[in-house]
Structure 1
Amino acid sequence: MTALIPIEADDPQPLSVALRRALDGGPALGFGMLADVPDRVPVGTAVVIATSGSSGIPKRVALSAEALRTSAEATADRIGSGRWLLALPTGYVAGLQVLVRSILAGTEPVALSGRFSPEAFAHATLSMLRHGDEALYTSLVPAQVATLLDAADDVAVRAALQAYRSILVGGQSLPEPLRERASDLGVRLVRTYGSTETSGGCVYDGVPLDTVSVRTVDGELRIAGPMLADGYLGDDELTSRVFVRDEHGIRWYRTGDLGLVENGVVRVHGRADNVIVSGGINISLDRVERIVRQVPGLHQAVVVGIDDERWGEASVIVAARGEVLRRSESDQLVHARDAVAEALGKHARPARLILVDEIATLASGKPDREAIRRIAAELR
């Protein structure tokens, strides 16, 4: 057994030192630790991250040094290595991996201070350009990308965006309009798919990293490879249910996501459990949301399910007022409903569009779907 040390993730410099020790067999680091956490964990564990995603039961994911290193090395093999800008919380795996990749590359990451903003992003990026000739990389969530693209009329922001060899984008699906806007500006986005249980993104632009295998079983995506978590600390039952072995003894992570693999390309359709039953018909809220986000003015909208007296359940669109185009709320809803009906059928059309001052998010930058669902239920 090895010691587990709870750690604050605010300051990346001391964290990098502690993380380097953890990767070399030193005390493991505990992020976001809850009550009743043991002070010792199995040998080989480097970090334990408390996470519940955008909703659900909190889990403590145990990641080994081998898993973190393998993931970082596979990323470097795919996109190259250099200097990283840290723009995400290090208590989440996407931010933590920025530190791991920097350690393996022998570079020092630059951390944004304070609240994320286009000005802070541009200032940090341009300072990196002035003080070195390494290739630049960063990892963002789609909401951050949208904020930067909206500010790209500013010469400094646009230059900063274009300075990166690759900008990894994960945490939630990347709306195609955002990807197209970035491409038109010469911004190199890489869409990633993965989770804490896979040491972060392990599928880039639909193609698994070299050490990763992806397949489907009954429509569910499963992932295998050396980057998988050891399991959930203190929950052997959940570990055995989520991490399973096939007939050849290969260990697979059950993602809970629906999707398919065609000619080596992974396509994610959405969460298997993010489904409502409306009028007796199953509707994937992820698929509805993906289509809604193609509609101008709704690129950052979130689709959630609420109780409905007539249909049992119905979907509603929740969007920030500042994002919605200057047209009537009813016209915007009609546009979204028509798009969903054309792609999925009339039964899948959202019932309402709810405008809020700001979309609730988790510290990771993901939408806080449970909070959004509560707001939608109160305002329906």
Structure 2
Amino acid sequence: MAAGLPGGRELGALVGWEREAVLAVSTSGSTGSPKVVLLSAAALIASAEATHARLGGAGTWLLALPTTHIAGVQVLVRSVVAGTEPGVMDLAAGFRASGFATAARTVLATPGPHYTALVPTQLARLVATEGPGLAAIRAFDAVLIGGAATPPSLLHRAREAGVNVVTTYGMSETAGGCVYDGHPLDGVKIRLDTRGRVEIAGPTLALGYQGGEPFGEWFRTGDLGRITTGGTLEITGRADDVIISGGENVSPQEVERVLAAQPGVHEVCVVGVPDDEWGQAVVAAVVPVDPDDRPDPDVLRQAVHDAVGRFAMPKRVVFLGQLPTRGPGKVDRAAVARSFG
């Protein structure tokens, strides 16, 4: 961490524990004001080593994410720890399957395992059609997917296409992904508090937020989850995303899972908007697979009725060309809500 920190603080102004930091990274701010997370070298290295241990050994990485976010930074850290030269995709013109294939060519020519990390939107573009992008992604030994919830239909499609997808859960505060395919990396511990919020401890935990107090042993996330009898962590939503409509608590993620499984739905985001009658009305923004052949809104609403209940049915469904995002592929829920006027 150099003399200039986000927020204008200088290195000399840092206190005790903050001086251990080697990296200051901003959160995406997708659910509130961005914060600056301070990470130690020990946390970054622990994350990289645990990742390699889980995937089957150190290898060569392709950087296809911006390094302004922890997921991109960690590709570089893992490369340093592995002693390999990462491939770097040119993202100046945006993410394209052809550009990914070109950047992957050099990486895949090196000996040993080959890895990359993507957000769901990037994976969706690569598996959309047969071509060099899909051929390239199939050749990687593991493709880490994180930064946002991945629709089950996309995971199924990618795995059916021969892509070795590994889902990751984590955040800047945990030095990136620390739970792979629902199971913590070595040394990482997870638990749920009395409200069902996910708490995380272990060597990958950040020091704390810039200008705040240091983290303790456990970091309480804003995510709700459950742990299955087999020890698998399943994220069920955000604690601050719950929609209260007509006195009923509605989990937008639960409604999204139902809608995303319907024919003709590519992506979906469910939010609550102010409503004089209901307090909050459940509404859904849907990106169709084919803009010229949209699914019937009434069919979508009925699917939610049957799977979740009448109280969770979207009062309105709008169709968008794409969902607005911020950060590393996270859906901007505030922007989605504004689309309903």
Q: TM-score, normalised by structure 1?
A: 0.83
Does residue 287 of structure 2 align to residue 320 of structure 1? Answer: yes
Q: Deviations over 1:142-162 (max 9, x none)?
A: 1111111113x11x2222011
The whole-number CA distance in structure 2 between the counterparts of 1:264 and 1:363 is: 30
Contact 1:89 1:363 in 2 (8 A): no
Q: Note the residue ranges of structure 2 that are not aligned, 5 or more in a row.
A: none
CA distance in 1, matches of 2:327, 2:98: 20
CA distance in 1, matches of 2:242, 2:67: 31
- Counterpart amino acid of residue 47 in structure 2: S
Seen in structure 2, the aligned counterparts of structure 1 residues 309 and 361 have a Cα distance that, compared at 3 Å, is same
How far apart are 1:301 and its partner, in Å?
1.6
Residue 97 (structure 1) aligned with residue 74 (structure 2): yes
- Residue 297 of structure 1 deviates from its aligned partner by 2.9
SS of 2:74's equivalent?
helix
How far the C-alpha of 1:338 sits from its partner, in A, is 2.3
Superposed displacement of residue 261, structure 1: 1.6
1:4 counterpart = 2:32: no
Residue of structure 2 in register with 1:143 after alignment: 121
Tell me: CA distance 1:227–1:175, structure 2 relative to 1, closer, same or farther (3 Å).
Answer: same
Say yes or no: does 1:306 pair with 2:273. Answer: yes
- CA-to-aligned-CA distance 1:101-157 (integer Å, 9 cap, x gap): 000000111111121100001111123223x12311111111111111113x11x22
CA deviations on 1:271-323 (whole Å, 9 max, x unpaired) are 111011100111111222222222233232211211122211112111336x3
Matched, 1:64 2:56: no
SS at match of 1:226: coil
Corresponding residue of 1:357: 321
The residue that corresponds to 1:23 in the other structure is none
Extract unaligned runs of 5+ from structure 1: 7-29, 245-250
What is the aligned partner in structure 1 of residue 139 from structure 2? 163
String of CA shifts for 1:65-102, please: whole Å, max 9, x gaps: 11111011100100032111111111101111000000
Question: CA–CA distance in 2 between the matches of 1:258 and 1:373?
Answer: 21
Aligned to 1:235: 212
Separation in 1 of the partners of 2:107 and 2:267? 29
Q: 1:216 offset after TM fit, Å?
A: 0.9
Partner AA of 1:312 in structure 2: G
> Which SS does the other structure have where 1:61 is aligned?
strand
**TM-score, with normalisation over the residues of structure 2?**
0.92
Q: 1:38 aligns with which of 10, 17, 22?
A: 10
- 1:210 aligns to what SS in structure 2? coil
Which amino acid in 2 is paired with 1:135? Answer: P
Q: Is 1:107 aligned to 2:84, yes or no?
A: yes
What is the SS of the residue equivalent to 2:267? Answer: coil
| 1:124 corresponds to 2:103 | yes
**1:48 maps to what in 2?**
24
Count matched residues: 332
Matched with 1:12 is none
Question: In structure 2, the residue corresponding to 1:62 is in which secondary structure?
Answer: strand
| 2:22 match: secondary structure | strand
- The percent of aligned pairs where both chains have the same amino acid is 43
| Deviation digits for residues 332-379 of structure 1 (CA, Å, limit 9, x no counterpart) | x22322222222211111111212333211142211222222222x1x
Residue pair 1:141, 1:172 contacting (<8 A) in 2 also: yes
- What is aligned with 1:217? 193
Aligned-CA RMSD value: 1.8
Pair 1:339-2:303 in alignment: yes
Deviations 1:250-289 (A, max 9, x none): x111012111222321111111110111001111112222
1:296/1:325 contact within 8 Å kept: no
CA distance in 1, matches of 2:337, 2:171: 22
Structure with bigger RCO (C-alpha 8 Å, 6+ apart):
2
Q: Which residue type is aligned with residue 37 of structure 2?
A: V
> What is the CA–CA distance in structure 2 between the aligned matches of 1:168 and 1:109, rounded to whole Å?
15
Give the letter aligned to residue 122 of structure 2.
Answer: Q
Shift in Å at residue 326 of structure 1? 4.2
For 1:19-38, what aligned pairs fall within 5 Å after superposition?
30=5, 33=6, 35-38=7-10
Q: 1:140 is matched by which residue type in structure 2?
A: L
SS of match in other structure, 2:26:
strand
